[in-house]
Each structure stands twice: as C-alpha cells, then as structure tokens.
Amino acid sequence: MKVMTFLSRDTSRAPTDEEPASPLPVLRRAPELVGVDPWFNTPDGAPLRLAALRDRVVLLEFWTFACVNCQRTLPFLRRMHGRYQPELTVVGVHTPEFAFERSLQNVERAVDEQGLEYPVGVDSDFVAWNAYGNRYWPTMYLIDRAGQVRYTHVGEGSYGRTEGAVRALLAEAADREAS
C-alpha cells in the first residue's frame, strides 16, 4: 500500500528558526508612504509616516483583502506584530486589485474580520505601490531603523527566513545601542 503525505496549508506554523547567512544588504532607501489614505489602527486615523518610525524596524506589506495569497500571510503578520512590538512595527498597505476592493467599507470590514491590530493604510491610487516599484500581491519589505530597505519577499511562505531577517535587524539595532 502506498501512503501519500501532504504538506499542511497552515503556513502560520512555518518554522521560525532560520537566520540569514550574512548581514542583510542595504537594497535602497525606503520611499515614504505618500498617497496612502485613510489609515486604520492609527491614533485618530492619523497618517503613518516612515520618518516617524526611524527608531523601529518596519515590516511593510503590500496586500489586498480578496487575494488568497495575501490572506495566508496575515497569521504571520499578526504573530510578528504581537511578538516583536514595540521594536518592530508591522504596516499593511492595502492596494486594490479589483474595483470592489476600492471600497473603504470593504477594506475596513476586512481589517476587522481578520483581526488586524497593526496600522493599515489604503493606497487606492497606487502612489506608494509605484514608489516601491511593486508588482505583486503580497510583497513584504523589511526596513531598518535608518529607513533603508534591507529585505524583500514576494508571495506567501518563507516565514522562517523572514522572521530570521526581522531578528537580524533587531539584533543590529541592539548591537549599535550596546556600543
């Protein structure tokens, strides 16, 4: 009898012990989040600016609520938000793929239904999307405390590698403070 084994689709339980092999390179300066409005989960809906987060590592994800691949990243993002704040700030930038995803009520409902507690901004005119040269949903960017993009990941998966990159950037900041 032949037995088949299937991998779990529960990507929220992906391994988290992978570390980057070497220091993360500086890829470029992170563009500011202009054109993103409104914001959910910020004090009084105030706009979030990367310049105001320079003392933190930022995990920025471009996503859209109807994308299945994006939905599968949300458990990981919620876990990162809960595990590493306040040193890490998770930020979602919702950029719609389809017309019904432009509805602010639909975005707000998705943020609530998915239990997202981190800031989520709406980029319906693709201003931030284009500033990052983004092409795919979902795409994650890790930004260091100096405002430099140090890591990117397109699609779902590689959560252990991404968390390892988060920890590496947090450790860099701790090493600088100890010096």
The answer, yes or no, to whether residue 20 has pLDDT greater than 80, is: no
Q: In this predicted model, what pLDDT tens digit does every residue of 155-164 receive, in sequence order?
A: 999 999 999 9
Burial tier of 77 (Cβ tally within 10 Å: 0-12, 13-18, 19+):
buried
Geometric angle at alpha carbon 163, from 142 and 16, rounded to 5° = 170
pTM of the entire predicted model: 0.87
> What are the DSSP E strand ranges found in the chain?
28-29, 39-40, 57-63, 88-94, 120-122, 139-143, 148-154
Model pLDDT, residue 31: 98
Residue with structure tokens 């989520």? 120
Structure tokens, 131:
């500033």
Rounded to whole angstroms, the Cα distance separating 129 from 143 reads: 15
Q: Evaluate the CA torsion angle 23, 26, 32, 38 in order and state its sign.
A: negative
Q: In this predicted model, what pLDDT tens digit does every residue of 80-139 receive, in sequence order?
A: 999 999 999 999 999 999 999 999 999 999 999 999 999 999 999 999 999 999 999 999
The answer, yes or no, to whether residue 144 has pLDDT greater than 70, is: yes
Domains and CATH numbers, the chain: 24-178 (3.40.30.10)
Model pLDDT, residue 91: 98
* Mean pLDDT, range 32-59, rounded to an integer: 96
